[in-house]
Amino acid sequence: MSNNPDIKKLSIIAITWPIFIESLLHMSLRTADTFMLSQVSDEAVAAVGVSNQLIMFMFFLFQFISTGAAVVVAQYLGAKKYDEIKLLTGNAILLNFFFGILVASVIMIFSRQLLGFFSLEPELFQQARTFLLIVGGALVFQAVSVTISAIIQTHGYTKETMLVTLGMNVLNITGNYLFIFGAFGFPQWGVPGVAISTAVSQFLALIAYGLVLYYRVKLRIEWKEYFTWQKERLMKILRIGVPSSLSMVSYSSSQIVTTGFITLLGTQMLATRIYSLNILFLVMILGISLGRGSQIVIGHLIGAGKMDEAYKQGLRSGRWSIIVALGITAIVTTFSKPLLGLFTNDPEIISMGVILLLLGFLLEPGRCLNLVYGGILNGAGDARFVMIESIAVMWLFSVPLYYLLGIHLGYGLIGIWIAFIADEWVRGLFVYFRWRSKAWEKKALVKHERTEVEQTA
């Protein structure tokens, strides 16, 4: 009987649609929190929105292990190098577990200082800190979950991770309902209740991911394989993971700075941005899903040496993401007022939100280019280029433009949104032309290994 893990036959549609649903469910976790807290107050929404900015920033730090491991495993699966996969997976899970403990500790110890950047009013500050302490402390669960989930998806089992996320959402929404509205005798805890619900659902999801890895994928890692370290193996993970993670950390940092600018415009504008982004996440996850699905398929193709097939698949993914994103944007803008009305009755927030959503027709094509081609370049092993262009554009061009248009020239939230559009387009075009150049073909991990063997021989 073979000791190899079970690997599904891959097609871009079969891989991507469960990732899309899963990403939609992940997004709905934040949207559910926002929607249900909007029944309490706009201030509660703003407080949780600010805390989530910090939590997402920390969450992106975990990606440097999970993304690196997923890309390496994908190429190894394509090259049929099965012996290393269990060791790579064990090392990645253990690394992110310890890293998760470190990050959670930093958040809990320095919560006051981290939130101090946003200059929140005292009541908002206390609510934001409560949420940050509970959900930030539970980040260790997410650190391990994101690693196991990435490995499961790389083997082609995207439906299974989707179902785990569905279960997590049901638990989270149920917990929100109980704690916000005091149903069935539960205490009405508002923001703390939402935080507890989020943390508990994430812990139970971690257990479910572990069961899927063991019983469905049949990747059964022994204790010694978690602790069997090899420098070359770790360096392969970090070679992809560190640059791709730094790109995400840089983006999240820029959004934290932008949120700081928006707090200068008042709580009303901050709430408007949060509501609008929650609605547009529906469109954004399309690009994320195609990027992740294409990353898995292209990783397998590159590992198998099918470079031309990988190149054509990348172009198809980019085209389809833009077409479908524009279609979803049209639906969102058609129902923009009712959608915003789900969150707030404030007429100024709704009128401003309608304008921001309409600008989605300009935003989404650029964002699709960025997400899809950035993802597949990482999958091809060209993460360093994505990191360099991303950090350079964001901090030398985009962040100054946010301040210039939004604050200095006085265009407010509209000015910041226009800068947001420019940022996505500039970064998107960089990664698109990089894919067209085929420079990524030289970055394949398996190819590097073969070269080293040849040189040794």
Gyration radius of the chain's alpha carbons: 22
Rounded Cα gap, residues 175 and 202, in angstroms: 12
Of 381, 358, 376, which Cα lies nearest the Cα of 431? 376
* Residue-level pLDDT at 392: 95
* Residue-level pLDDT at 6: 53
Tell me the per-residue pLDDT of 188-234, one tens digit each, with 9 for 90 and over. 888 888 889 989 999 999 999 999 998 998 888 888 888 877 777 77
Whether the per-residue pLDDT at 237 is higher than 60: the answer is yes
Q: Is 305 left (phi over 0), alpha (psi -120 to 50) or beta?
A: left
Cβ proximity of 375 and 291 under 8 Å: yes
Tell me the per-residue pLDDT of 361-384, one tens digit each, with 9 for 90 and over. 999 899 999 989 998 898 888 889
Share above pLDDT 90 across residues of the chain, in percent, rounded to a whole number: 23
* Residue-level pLDDT at 5: 56
Average pLDDT, the chain: 84
Asked whether the CA dihedral 95, 97, 100, 104 is positive or negative, the reply is negative
Q: Is 306 left (phi over 0), alpha (psi -120 to 50) or beta?
A: beta
Q: How confident is the model at residue 21 (pLDDT cuts 50, 70, 90)?
A: confident
- Tokens coding 134: 């509970």
Print burial letters for 127-138: b (CB count within 10 Å at least 16), e (below 16): bbbbbbbbbbbb
Map tokens 């964001």 to a residue.
394
Rounded to two decimals, the pTM is: 0.74
| Mean pLDDT computed over 162-180 | 89
Whether the per-residue pLDDT at 448 is higher than 80: the answer is no
Whether the per-residue pLDDT at 7 is higher than 60: the answer is no
Q: Where are the beta strands (DSSP E) in 4-109?
A: none
Tell me the per-residue pLDDT of 64-73, one tens digit each, with 9 for 90 and over. 788 888 888 8
Print burial letters for 87-115: b (CB count within 10 Å at least 16), e (below 16): bbbbbbbbbbbebbeebbeebeeebeebb
3-state secondary structure 4-17: CCCCCCCCHHHHHH
Q: How confident is the model at residue 10 (pLDDT cuts 50, 70, 90)?
A: low
Q: How confident is the model at residue 311 (pLDDT cuts 50, 70, 90)?
A: very high
Q: How confident is the model at residue 385 (pLDDT cuts 50, 70, 90)?
A: very high
Of 372, 387, 383, which Cα lies nearest the Cα of 293? 372
Tell me the per-residue pLDDT of 101-136, one tens digit each, with 9 for 90 and over. 999 999 889 888 888 877 677 777 888 888 889 988
Helix axis angle, 347-358 relative to 307-334, nearest 10°?
A: 150
Whether the per-residue pLDDT at 386 is higher than 50: the answer is yes
Rounded Cα gap, residues 357 and 132, in angstroms: 29
Whether the per-residue pLDDT at 445 is higher than 80: the answer is no
Whether the per-residue pLDDT at 396 is higher than 90: the answer is yes
| Planar angle of CA 439, 444, 445, nearest 5 degrees | 150
* Residue-level pLDDT at 415: 92
* Residue-level pLDDT at 210: 93
Q: How confident is the model at residue 173 (pLDDT cuts 50, 70, 90)?
A: confident
* Residue-level pLDDT at 436: 94
Q: Of 17 and 82, which is predicted with more confidence?
A: 17
| Mean pLDDT computed over 35-50 | 74
Rounded Cα gap, residues 46 and 427, in angstroms: 29
Rounded Cα gap, residues 155 and 140, in angstroms: 24
- Distances in Å between the Cα of 142 and the Cα atoms of 86, 113, 139 are 21, 23, 5
Most confident option among 75-79, 94-98, 253-257:
94-98
With H, G, I as helix, E, B as strand and everything else as coil, classify residue 372. Answer: helix
Rounded Cα gap, residues 56 and 103, in angstroms: 12
Q: How confident is the model at residue 293 (pLDDT cuts 50, 70, 90)?
A: confident
